[in-house]
Homo-oligomer: A and B are copies of this chain.
Amino acid sequence: METIRIFSPATVANVGCGFDVLGFCLDKVGDEMVVKKTQRKGIFITKIEGFELPYDVYENVAGVSALAMYAVLDVEFGFEIEIYKQIKPGSGIGSSAASAVGSVFGMNYLLGNPFSKIELIKFAMKGEAIASKSEHADNIAPAVLGGFTLVKQSNPLEVIQLPSPDALHAVIVHPQIEIKTADSRAVLPEYITLTDAISQWSNVGSLVHALHTSDYNLMGKSLIDVVIEPHRSKLIPNFNSLRKISLENGALGCSISGSGPSIFSLCKGLENAKKVEANQRAFMANTNIHFETHVSIINKEGIKILS
């Protein structure tokens, strides 16, 4: 096998209560990438479609993660990467993570899978770092492993795969506004009250329990973020209205996806997810903001081979 075509999925990080540690993987929403073995040594980005991104491998997240893996290989050939970008950069659903993961997953496959999934996550974190300025795995881990993940710690990396109850569906609303990374960082509090912290770890604990027991009611009660959402939601116009619509239409929970501006809801069943989506679309149509929505099951498989 000299060429592989892959699907690299979008992901939702933080998941309400689990800032910096929880994430889950979406289905269908994602990038396609082609990775080819080539005689010339090195890593080369040969095609980018969908959105404008740098071809310079040192400036492209897919290039940087690929270089990180390539540096530990002892091979007489190189790799060419084509990126068919579907996930808009800066949307808050793991666009850079999808790129960072895609190149190393494809290379690993063409090499005969010498690296474990945890090792792929580590390489991808090097790529993610140039987009987000720090090595985070909260989007990368679910993109590689699928389902719900908990990044227990980044260094040394420790990732836990959590159960993903079958009826869960995600709704994503992406209001196409730009939030500057500097702004989304600047609003993060350096200190929080012990009281808020206790609420948050109580919610993380009960969400993990709810995923293990498929307790949808408890999931809903646990998908509450008292620490980050009150600050970051101010950067997202209509956040409170969209959240209200989601909950009033039966979603289990609704919060910011990653650092936004996308907003995710988790729903029990496809029918409910479509209802939430329809009502959020109707609301957004009355604003003058461009938007996209997606409905997706939780993708338990993660990144995968298309051909």
Contact = CB atoms under 8 A, between A and B. Distances in A.
A201 interface: yes
A202 B17 contact: no
Most chain B CB atoms below 10 A, which of A160, A200, A218, A222:
A160
A209 B213 CA distance: 11
Interface stretch (A151-159, A170-178, A261-269): A151-159
Contact of A194 (B162, B191, B201, B204): B191
A250 to B, nearest CB: 21
**Copies of the protein in its oligomer:** 2
A197 B206 contact: no
A198 interface: yes
A164 to B, nearest CB: 13
Nearest to A21: B202
B160 A201 contact: no
Interface residues of A, number: 38
Contact of A21 (B18, B189, B205): B205
A205 B193 CA distance: 20
A107 B151 CA distance: 46
A190 B193 contact: yes
A221 interface: yes
A201 B162 contact: no
5 contacts: A17-B201, A20-B198, A152-B205, A153-B199, A158-B221
Interface of A: 17-22, 150-153, 158, 160, 162, 188-194, 197-209, 212, 218, 221-222, 227
Given A152-B205, A204-B205, A208-B212, 5 more contacts: A160-B205, A189-B194, A190-B193, A192-B193, A201-B205
